[in-house]
Amino acid sequence: MPSTHTSLYYHIVFSTKYRVASIQDSWQERLHSYLGGIIRGLKGTAVAIGGTSDHVHILARLGAVHRLADVIRDLKSNSSKWAHEVVGVRFFGWQDGYGAFSVSNSELEGLKQYIRDQRNHHRKKAFKEEYLDLLRGNGVDFDEKFLWG
């Protein structure tokens, strides 16, 4: 086969430094747009981006040439710099680490809605609980004492 064909969707989740509620409503949409622009600049597709004041969810389609850790490094570093320089948030940063889960085509619509509805979702469930559910639901082995450092 002379060419490469992929359909690689990822649900990426990461939180603000120490899970501090530092993403303000006044610039949250702009942050999500900026994150989408970073993905597009890397030749990926930002399908859905949402979150709350202390974390972000990204549904992205990436190609075979993308290395997930590099994409997330670029997302975090470039968006932190943007928050400092453009928004003027001096102490903004992202927590080390992230969650990333593969997504099948049959799950895309439901996940897009889930990401869009983060504000309502978190009226009932805290981020920690949500993240633990994501890990367990995706069969990820973890030790909780290393999750919230």
Q: How many angstroms separate the CA atoms of 15 and 128, rounded?
A: 10
Question: How far is the first Cα of the chain from the last one, in angstroms, to the nearest whole number?
Answer: 46
94: CB partners within 8 A, 6+ apart: 14, 15, 16, 17, 76, 79, 80
pLDDT tens-digit profile of 126-149? 999 999 999 999 999 999 888 876
Question: pLDDT tens digit string along 53-73?
Answer: 999 999 999 999 999 999 999
Each domain of the chain, given as residue ranges in start order, spans: 8-137
Over residues 114-132, mean pLDDT: 93
CATH topology of domain 8-137: Alpha-Beta Plaits (3.30.70)
Q: How many beta carbons lie within 10 A of that of residue 38, not counting itself?
A: 20
- Give the global pTM: 0.94
- Coil, strand or helix at 31: helix
Cα pseudo-dihedral 134, 13, 115, 80, rounded to 10? 160
Q: pLDDT tens digits for 76-89?
A: 999 999 999 999 99
